[in-house]
Structures are given as structure tokens and as C-alpha cells.
């Protein structure tokens, strides 16, 4: 395919490549996306499950939803798309991987410089004392309690209406601004501020390559758009880079 060669050439002639990923990259691992035909937000209301108000109202309900998602994520494996990105980093091509995903699959695939804009589903945080820790399986008792102060533990993810972790966002802004090429993969590009990061790359003269099975609001400003599954196309691009 001509686009594969084109993408490989553009990547090959860039010095500082950064990727931004969304739920679409994990779709081929069997993890549901948020929007689109079978998206989670078609079946569930974000206001009931992914806001601080929802958690204050009904922590058990919110936790049940997260335990369900943890089970899906826990039995999922990184797919060839995640693995190709990890290899690109290993080869010194990809400098940072900015993700909106909370599933941790990029790290499991071997990526190291991963910026998790929306947190990680395997980290919990106390709403009272701020204690936080990583967990490896869903909590048995829900809602789980803080071992330090007895307060309520929540998933350490970003909910609607909450700010992103400042240090992570600042680093993402740095990488997006410095990138001379950004791969925008599997994101509907409607949730801010993540959706604006490619604009920083573009504004500084960088190239945008979009890999997505459908159009997004970013499509019109992308230099190259590849309408294919990430897990299919990324290994092919990697192979072409050589
Ligand atoms: P979305 O579910 O909004 O979008 C997924 C995107 O992936 C869509 O544009 C699909 O066309 C595309 N897609 C699906 N399968 C694909 C595949 N195999 N290969 C390539 N592309 C594919 O997910 P996000 O953009 O990540 O935030 O959503 C952003 C945020 O909204 C999430 O982080 C989450 C959600 O609400 C919070 O919970 C704060």
C-alpha cells in the first residue's frame, strides 16, 4: 500500500516522533472503546459512572463498573499495534507515547516513556488522605477502604470535570510542541485537552499522521490519514521503516 511507504518515509525523515493514542489502539485487544457503534458511552451514562459526583453519590456502583472493566483489561493482551509502538521507541524513533488509555497495555507491550493523561485503572487513591498504590487485580471488597486512614479508595483515573495530572499534562505539552511528527492513533479526538495536543505539533510545523478506522475532527488538518486498524497497519509501517 502506498500510504504505508509514505508514512514510513515521513517517519524516517523525522527526528522527534511522538504518538498520541486512544481507546482504538486497544480495541483489537478486546477492550471496548467509548464512542462508536459498540462504545461504552452508548450503553452507560458517563454522568453516572465517570464523574466525582457519581462516585460521591454511589461509590459501589462506580466500583462495580470499574471492577467489570478491570476484569476485561486484566485478561487482555497487548496487540501488534502496541508492540510496534514499543519497538519504535526501542529503535530510538519514538520519543514519547502519550495515551488517554487507562489500561496499561502500552507498558505491558514494552513502551517505557508512557504519559498516561487519564491515569491508570490499576492505581487506587484515597479520597481523604491521598494515599495511593498500584493493585494487580480488582479489589475483593467494594468499595475498598484505605489501609492508612480507613477512607474511601477510588480508581486513580481522570473523571469528567476533573483536571488532568499537572506534571503529566506539562510533559505531554512539551513533547507535542517539540515533535516534528505526531502519530495520532485510535482516538476520536473530542476529549480535551488531549485532543488539542496534535494542534501544538502542527502549529510548530510538525507533521500529523492519523491512523483511525473513521474520520475525526482532526482529519482535515492531518498530513496523512490511514483508514485502517492500528494493529494491522503499525506493524506494516514498522517493517517498511526496516
Ligand atoms: P473513543 O472511544 O472516543 O474513540 C475511539 C477511536 O478509535 C474512534 O475514533 C474509532 O474510530 C477508533 N478506532 C476503533 N477501533 C480502531 C482500530 N482497531 N484501529 C484504529 N482506530 C480504531 O476513545 P478515546 O478517543 O480514547 O476519558 O476517548 C477519549 C476519552 O473519552 C477516554 O480517555 C475516556 C473517554 O470518556 C475519560 O474517561 C476521562
Within a 10 A sphere around the Cβ of 62, how many other Cβ atoms? 23
Q: How confident is the model at residue 179 (pLDDT cuts 50, 70, 90)?
A: very high
Same domain as 173, residue 114: yes
Residues catalogued as catalytic: 118
CATH number at residue 47: 3.30.1600.10
Please tell me the residue having the least CA distance from ligand 1 atom 2: 34
Ligand 1 atom at shortest distance from the alpha carbon of 101: 33
Residues 61 and 11 in one domain: no
CA of 209 to the centre of ligand 1 (A): 16
Distance 193 CA to ligand 1 centre (A): 14
Residue 155 predicted with pLDDT over 80: yes
Q: Report which protein residue has its CA nearest ligand 1's atom 32.
A: 100
Model pTM? 0.97
DSSP per position, 80-125:
HHHHHHHHHHHTT-EEEEEE---S-HHHHTT--SEEETTEEEEEEE
Residues 218-227, mean pLDDT to the nearest whole number: 98
In short, whether 111's Cβ falls inside 6 Å of ligand 1 is: no
pLDDT at residue 199 above 90?
Answer: yes
- CA of residue 240 to ligand 1 center, whole Å: 26
Q: How many domains does the chain have?
A: 2
Indicate whether 185 and 232 sit together in one domain. yes
Residue 59 CB–ligand 1 contact under 6 Å: no
Write out pLDDT tens, residues 87-140: 999 999 999 999 999 999 999 999 999 999 999 999 999 999 999 999 999 999
Whether residues 16 and 110 fall in one domain: yes
- Per-residue three-class SS string for 41-71: HHHCCHHHHCCHHHHHHCHHHHHHHHHHHHH
User: Which residue segment(s) compose the domain that 86 sits in?
Assistant: 1-31+78-118+164-242
- At residue 66 the predicted structure's pLDDT band, cuts being 50, 70 and 90, is very high
The whole-number pLDDT of residue 121 equals 98
**Residue 184: what pLDDT?**
99
Mean pLDDT in residue range 66-70: 96
Amino acid at each position: 500500500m502506498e500510504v504505508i511507504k509514505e508514512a514510513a518515509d515521513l517517519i524516517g525523515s523525522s527526528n522527534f516522533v511522538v504518538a498520541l493514542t486512544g481507546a482504538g489502539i486497544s480495541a483489537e485487544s478486546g477492550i471496548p472503546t467509548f464512542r462508536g457503534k459498540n462504545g461504552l458511552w452508548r450503553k452507560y451514562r458517563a454522568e453516572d459512572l465517570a464523574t466525582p459526583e457519581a462516585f460521591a453519590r454511589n461509590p459501589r456502583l462506580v466500583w462495580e463498573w470499574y471492577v467489570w472493566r478491570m476484569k476485561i483489561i486484566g485478561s487482555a493482551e497487548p496487540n501488534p499495534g502496541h508492540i510496534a509502538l514499543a519497538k519504535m521507541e526501542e529503535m530510538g524513533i519514538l520519543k514519547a507515547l502519550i495515551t488517554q488509555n487507562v489500561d496499561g497495555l502500552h507498558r505491558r507491550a514494552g513502551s517505557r516513556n508512557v504519559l498516561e493523561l487519564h491515569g491508570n485503572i490499576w492505581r487506587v487513591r484515597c479520597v481523604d488522605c491521598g494515599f495511593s498504590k498500584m493493585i494487580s487485580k480488582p479489589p475483593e471488597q467494594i468499595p475498598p477502604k484505605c489501609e492508612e486512614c480507613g477512607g474511601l479508595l477510588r480508581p486513580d483515573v481522570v473523571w469528567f470535570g476533573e483536571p488532568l495530572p499537572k506534571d503529566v499534562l506539562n510533559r505531554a505539552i512539551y513533547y507535542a510542541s517539540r515533535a516534528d511528527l505526531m502519530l495520532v492513533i485510535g482516538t476520536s479526538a473530542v476529549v480535551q485537552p488531549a485532543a488539542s495536543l496534535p494542534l501544538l505539533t502542527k502549529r510548530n510545523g510538525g507533521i500529523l499522521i492519523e491512523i483511525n478506522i473513521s474520520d475525526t475532527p482532526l482529519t482535515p488538518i492531518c498530513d496523512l490519514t490511514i483508514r485502517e486498524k492500528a494493529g494491522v497497519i503499525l506493524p506494516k509501517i514498522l517493517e517498511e521503516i526496516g
